[in-house]
Structure 1
Amino acid sequence: MARTATTIRRSTLTLPVAPVGPENPLPPLLPRDEAHRIDERQRATLPQDMARQVGYAPLTTVLPTRLLDGYGRRRARAELDTVVIENDRLRATVLPGFGGRVHSLYHKPSGRDLLYTNPVLQPADFALNGAWFSGGIEWNIGATGHTTLSCAPVHAAVVPAPGGGRMLRLWEWERLRDTPFQVDLWLPDGSDHLFVGVRIRNPHEAPVPVYWWSNIAVPEDHGTRVLAPADEAWHFGYARTLRRIPVPEWDGADRSYPLHGDYPADYFYEVPGEARKWIAALDGHGTGLVQTSTARLSGRKLFVWGAGPGGRRWQRWLTEEGTPGYAEIQAGLARTQLEHVPLPAGAEVSWLEAYGPLSGDPALVHGADWAAARAHVAERLADALPQARVDAAYAAWLPCADLDPKEMLHTATGWGALEVARGGYELPGTPFDPAALGEEQRPWLHLLDTGRLPEERPGPAQPPGPGPVSAAWRERLECAPGGPLTDYHLGVAQWHAGDRAQAERSWQRALAAAPTPWVLRCLAVARAAAGHAEQAAGHALAAAELALGTVGVPLPALAALGREAVPLLLAGGRTADARRVFDRLPAGIRETGRCRLLHARILLAQGETAAARAVFDAGFEVADLREGDECLSDTWAELTGDPLPERYEFRMRPA
């Protein structure tokens, strides 16, 4: 029987979706509480190369991106754009509007999906800039954590594949590090493996830090075992400790089974340099998914939620009741996700990955002899997909990486086109079309063309739009004629560069010229970061009162200001002002879970413990609860010595 030629087509997928919602219009000046951090004392105990990369260029903010925190927990069926790549063996469904996530990878001969395919799209606060969702294969680039592109569009097009046929190219400009990247996916005719070529480029005249982890969600039950070619791993727990442990047995349990532990944890495998790079998740019958790559993608990791109440609660939070659990197997550029790797000026880094089914003898896969189990899996992988074939596919792909797209399937934002306009970069294979430039980029094009921003006098009703913050843009702002809008954006860029004193001076100039809630809020954050709680509270109160007294302020802006102002007022000892600001917020904002929690905090500060307890007893959900955040359990502990109710149990470490 003749094989069916590989096809690529647009399609749609209908799921229950909680909309991502609008961007938070306030620039994120402070670092987010990224869970994957260790202190200097811990870093000093690590191998020298790992310690150097752990300390290399950590993020201080997620500027220039904006936070995505406008989602809720209400889902309705919605149609999502997809791109489907299919041959006679596999069907991969990609979400170009959500970071190019591979939503599913269906293996036709076995009739099963090789990935954990989430039956809903429910954002939660796991990405560097907020909204993220679980399931499928996610392409994590930028910095430690889930990419800011998790819920953002990427460009997508058809390009010629190695050896003929068609290939799907995904690409975008990663804004945290200003690095363009591409992900090329193709299915050779008759292949049981999805091939993925990845390239990250540094078009600049100085080194940049790069980060990459391909994050693969796989089905999990009590029979699931994850195998990799390693006898040791670096264990990271949410108590923020990183230590080397044996694999698979540690602390009285076989940790290659995701449910053999109580708490969420990362296991970064110590894969020998000469070993083939692979990781597999196999069920009780010895079947499942294997991921392998060329040698450059050297790191491998297992993330588990654990069998305890916090991890189980998170699993249900990210999907829906009654669905199976999942674990994550991952592949990255470094040994751990705490590390960033320098990419020299003008250089690029690339590799090839392959994803496909794997079956082994369950007696060997699940045997007590770890060396025999992983040797058996390695042999089964070598039979199904020899390393020589992976290396040959990579060599065949490299000449295709620069080929121009033939058919556009999806368009992302204009930020990449703006950077190309500024820098004049030549990026074969990943064009950033000026046609993608939109309203958010137009003021910055004006700055490029004329040397000044369109200096419309900012008003109190409308927050300024987003803008770039790199050194090149900061220099242009510094050379531009002053004005309240220019000074506002200059302050944001200076803050991003670490020049906080100059940032405050720029914002003070903007405030003197045109008082707005937006510049007052920046000054409030700056004063709080400098340890001046009373001054921060004063600026926060002025910002909130000005916004609440102005007609036409968008609700997302009011919500963001309120959520920031109340904690700053409480920290400054101004409880009555915090209560007054809270009470003036629109009812729809006050009723959100985050504000219900703030209400309980205000009541606690006022000594009204019974009323604060009543807020918890009535029940609420903090839709944007951050990974590792213990605000619910901490507040509960201030209210009562009673056990924490299950609905508020999100702790990822021992109490």
Structure 2
Amino acid sequence: MRKSLDSQRSSAKLSYSIHENTRSCFMKKVRCNISVAIGFHVLVPLVFLAGCAEATSAQEAKAKVTEEVRAIQTYPFSNPNPVPILTEDYRLYPYHRFEGYAHESQRKEWKVVKLENEWIELWILPEVGGKIWGARVKKTGNEFIYRNEVMKFRNIALRGPWTSGGIEFNFGVIGHAPSTASPVDYITRENEDGSVSVIVGAMDLPSRTHWRVEVRLPSDRAYFETRVLWRNPTTQEQAYYNWMTAAAFAQDDLVMTIPGNTYLGHPGERYDWPIDDQGRLLSAYRENAFGGNKSFHVVGEMNDFFGGYYKSDDYGFGHWSKYGDMPGQKLWLWALSRQGGIWEDLL
């Protein structure tokens, strides 16, 4: 099968924990008196498009929410395992695993919720964990959240099926959540201030907690917001955690801005960031062409933002949240060698 352009390109995963308001937006070079660091010791005049004179007034702008059924090339999953998951991970009971993953694709219809205003549009998949499928700038077509046009489910998540791209919501046991490939509850809403929202959520069966995520698009701004509610209705304390996984295009000219001076590996070892002991600028995608897949848990500065910038295309993406609500983030990169290429083919 010939893949779409989107599905042929690698994606970088940026994971972060979040509990309150966040904003994801695209960035463009403009002549405004606001500077944001987009690389190590580099300040470039970037600003959210809605902050400049070309933005439409709130009275003229209008946001819309629509629903549709769209046929997407899909590699489905199947074969639920009748053996209780207790034999593999007791923390996930009463979920079961899926053992079947297709090697051939088929056109499958999926429910899609679309939020749009004059500036940007984004799509939500309530039948795939409620994930944000992708987001793009209307005027240029630039995608600031990676949208994979092919739904390839592979055995990666806690109960198996997982597909790349977009922003997924994870609540409960550490890992890609059991709900990440399953239908969740959702409702759409037109708000009094002219913004529109879709609220997705489900119950985490092992903990019996309930999570909700509101994805809100203002009427006159080039960003969208997420707001999280996680409720424990039981009398038992739950030592669980919440994290989100956002995907971005991985191009040679991509430079990430993640404030900090140190990164930690999964076992807890400490390394320099963003320049390592070999003089490589690790925040620049192309300078990671060594070794295998990489995880950077960046620490050392208490800032409220991170982002990325594509030099040749002159645009980027950004995320803002209060540091106390979003205390850390991890940058994950598939290897730039054939090791990563294999996963690119699989996903």
**TM-score normalized by the length of structure 2:** 0.77
Distance 1:166 1:268 in 2: 34
Distance 1:195 1:98 in 2: 20
**Which residue number in structure 2 is paired with residue 311 of structure 1?**
340
**Which residue number in structure 2 is paired with residue 20 of structure 1?**
77
Alignment of 1:141-220 (within 5 A): 141-159=171-189, 161=191, 163=193, 165-220=195-250
Ranges in structure 1 where 5+ consecutive residues have no aligned partner: 33-59, 319-655
Kindly indicate whether the alpha-carbon contact (under 8 Å) linking 1:161 and 1:186 is maintained by their aligned counterparts in 2: no
Distance 1:114 1:73 in 2: 29
- C-alpha distance 180-24 of structure 1, shift in aligned 2 (>3 A): same
Ranges in structure 2 where 5+ consecutive residues have no aligned partner: 1-55
Other structure's SS at 1:114 match:
strand
Alignment equivalent of 1:229, drawn from 259, 262, 267: 259
Q: Tell me by how many angstroms 1:271 deviates.
A: 4.7
* Alpha-carbon displacement from aligned partner over 1:395-438 (angstroms, at most 9, x marks no partner): xxxxxxxxxxxxxxxxxxxxxxxxxxxxxxxxxxxxxxxxxxxx
Q: Say if 2:132 is the partner of 1:102.
A: yes
Alignment of 1:503-652 (within 5 A): none
Q: Say if 2:150 is the partner of 1:120.
A: yes
* Alpha-carbon displacement from aligned partner over 1:100-144 (angstroms, at most 9, x marks no partner): 111110111332111221121111111011000100111111121
Distance 2:342 2:320 in 1: 31
Q: Which letter does structure 1 place at the counterpart of 2:262? A: E
Kindly indicate whether the alpha-carbon contact (under 8 Å) linking 2:135 and 2:146 is maintained by their aligned counterparts in 1: no
Q: Say if 2:283 is the partner of 1:256.
A: yes
Q: Tell me by how many angstroms 1:145 deviates.
A: 1.1
Kindly indicate whether the alpha-carbon contact (under 8 Å) linking 2:198 and 2:216 is maintained by their aligned counterparts in 1: yes
Kindly indicate whether the alpha-carbon contact (under 8 Å) linking 2:253 and 2:285 is maintained by their aligned counterparts in 1: no
* Alpha-carbon displacement from aligned partner over 1:459-494 (angstroms, at most 9, x marks no partner): xxxxxxxxxxxxxxxxxxxxxxxxxxxxxxxxxxxx
Q: What's the Cα RMSD here?
A: 1.9
Q: Tell me by how many angstroms 1:22 deviates.
A: 4.1
Distance 1:99 1:263 in 2: 29
Alignment equivalent of 2:305, drawn from 272, 275, 278: 278
Distance 1:251 1:302 in 2: 19
Alignment equivalent of 1:291, drawn from 312, 319, 330: 319
* Alpha-carbon displacement from aligned partner over 1:293-320 (angstroms, at most 9, x marks no partner): 13312111100112122122111211xx
Kindly indicate whether the alpha-carbon contact (under 8 Å) linking 1:118 and 1:135 is maintained by their aligned counterparts in 2: yes
Other structure's SS at 1:194 match:
strand
Kindly indicate whether the alpha-carbon contact (under 8 Å) linking 1:31 and 1:61 is maintained by their aligned counterparts in 2: no
Alignment equivalent of 1:73, drawn from 103, 117, 135: 103
Kindly indicate whether the alpha-carbon contact (under 8 Å) linking 1:232 and 1:269 is maintained by their aligned counterparts in 2: yes
- Please state which structure has a larger fraction of its residues in strand: 2
Distance 1:129 1:217 in 2: 21
Q: Which letter does structure 1 place at the counterpart of 2:138? A: K
Kindly indicate whether the alpha-carbon contact (under 8 Å) linking 1:281 and 1:290 is maintained by their aligned counterparts in 2: yes
**TM-score normalized by the length of structure 1:** 0.42
**Which residue number in structure 2 is paired with residue 8 of structure 1?**
65
Q: Tell me by how many angstroms 1:4 deviates.
A: 4.0
Alignment of 1:40-79 (within 5 A): 60-79=90-109
Q: Tell me by how many angstroms 1:23 deviates.
A: 2.2
Q: Tell me by how many angstroms 1:248 deviates.
A: 1.0
Distance 2:319 2:71 in 1: 28
Q: Answer with 1 or 2: which has the greater Rg.
A: 1
Kindly indicate whether the alpha-carbon contact (under 8 Å) linking 1:124 and 1:133 is maintained by their aligned counterparts in 2: yes
**Which residue number in structure 1 is paired with residue 43 of structure 2?**
none
* Alpha-carbon displacement from aligned partner over 1:257-291 (angstroms, at most 9, x marks no partner): 3341331121111153xx33222121124521111
Q: Tell me by how many angstroms 1:164 deviates.
A: 5.0
Distance 1:205 1:24 in 2: 32
Distance 1:202 1:299 in 2: 23
Moved more, 148-157 or 275-284: 275-284
Distance 1:304 1:165 in 2: 34
Other structure's SS at 2:239 match:
strand
Q: Which letter does structure 1 place at the counterpart of 2:251? A: D
Kindly indicate whether the alpha-carbon contact (under 8 Å) linking 2:70 and 2:109 is maintained by their aligned counterparts in 1: yes
Kindly indicate whether the alpha-carbon contact (under 8 Å) linking 2:62 and 2:194 is maintained by their aligned counterparts in 1: no
Q: Which letter does structure 2 place at the counterpart of 1:66? A: H
- Please state which structure has a larger fraction of its residues in helix: 1
Other structure's SS at 1:21 match:
strand
Other structure's SS at 1:69 match:
strand
- C-alpha distance 251-15 of structure 1, shift in aligned 2 (>3 A): farther
**Which residue number in structure 1 is paired with residue 270 of structure 2?**
244
Kindly indicate whether the alpha-carbon contact (under 8 Å) linking 2:196 and 2:219 is maintained by their aligned counterparts in 1: no
Q: Which letter does structure 2 place at the counterpart of 1:62? A: L
Other structure's SS at 1:170 match:
strand
Q: Tell which has more relative contact order, 1 or 2 (C-alpha 8 A, sep 6+).
A: 2
Q: Identity over the aligned pairs, expressed in percent?
A: 22
